Amino acid sequence: MADRVFIEGLAIETCIGVYDWEKEIRQKVVLDLELEVGLATAGASDALADTVDYRAVADRLIALVGAARCELLEALGESICDCLLSEFALRRVRLKLSKPGAVAEATNVGILIERRADGVSEA
């Protein structure tokens, strides 16, 4: 099993939705992330420079998602994964992107995607 850093429950307000009224308001989305990265070097060195800085990742996503204007979670999810894979030394990103309240009868709805740094998609 590969090493991973995770961030759970990162709540960010953004402009997302297909309906006209949704394009005029900000709604909460919630991100759960698994970031595949080698951790052995950081484990031996105890140095932040040898791992992925989850505070830096969270700050980048707060800025990215907060400024986004998407209709679909799918588009926002791709943007998030593209950003993380291009700006951080990651092998793979697994993202659960939720939009609480989007379906009144459901506890939660959203998407779950994985993207790899080498561009090979998972089937």
Question: Could you give the C-alpha distances from 29 to 5, 68, 70, in angstroms and in order?
Answer: 20, 12, 12
Q: Which residue has the tokens 């140095």?
A: 47
Q: Which residue has the tokens 């505070």?
A: 55
Cβ(4)–Cβ(32) below 8 Å: no
The count of other CB atoms within 10 Å of the CB of residue 70 is 18
Catalytic residue among 23, 28, 96, 99: 99
Residue 99 a catalytic site member: yes
Provide the annotated active-site residues: 99
